[in-house]
Amino acid sequence: MGKKINAIFFDFDGVIVDSQQLWELMFDEVVKIYRLDMICLVENDGMNFTTNEAIQLMLENQQRFTNHLYEEIINWTEKFYVENFHPFVQLNGHVAEMLEHLKANQIQIVLVSNSSRRQIDYAFQQLKLHSYFDHTISADDVSKGKPNAEPYLKALSLSEKQKEEVLVIEDSLTGINAAKDAGLNYKIYNNSDFCHQPNYIADFRELIKEI
Domain end: 88, 116, 142, which one?
88
pLDDT (tens digit, 0 to 9) for every residue of the chain, 211 residues total?
A: 557 999 999 999 999 999 999 999 999 999 999 999 988 887 765 556 788 989 999 999 999 999 999 999 999 999 999 999 999 999 999 999 999 999 999 999 999 999 999 999 999 999 999 999 999 999 999 999 999 999 999 999 999 999 999 999 999 999 999 999 999 999 999 999 999 999 999 999 999 998 8
Q: Is residue 2 part of a domain?
A: no
Domain end (from 88, 114, 140):
88
What's the chain's Rg over C-alpha atoms? 17
Q: Note whether 126 and 114 are same-domain residues.
A: yes
CA-CA-CA-CA torsion for 67, 120, 76, 33, nearest 10 degrees? 110
**116 in a structural domain:** yes
Q: How many separate domains does the chain show?
A: 2
Distance from C-alpha of 138 to C-alpha of 204, rounded to nearest angstrom: 23
Q: What is the pTM of this model?
A: 0.93
- Domain, as residue range, for 148: 7-16+92-208
Which of 88, 109, 136 is the last residue before a domain boundary? Answer: 88
Residues 104 and 156 in one domain: yes
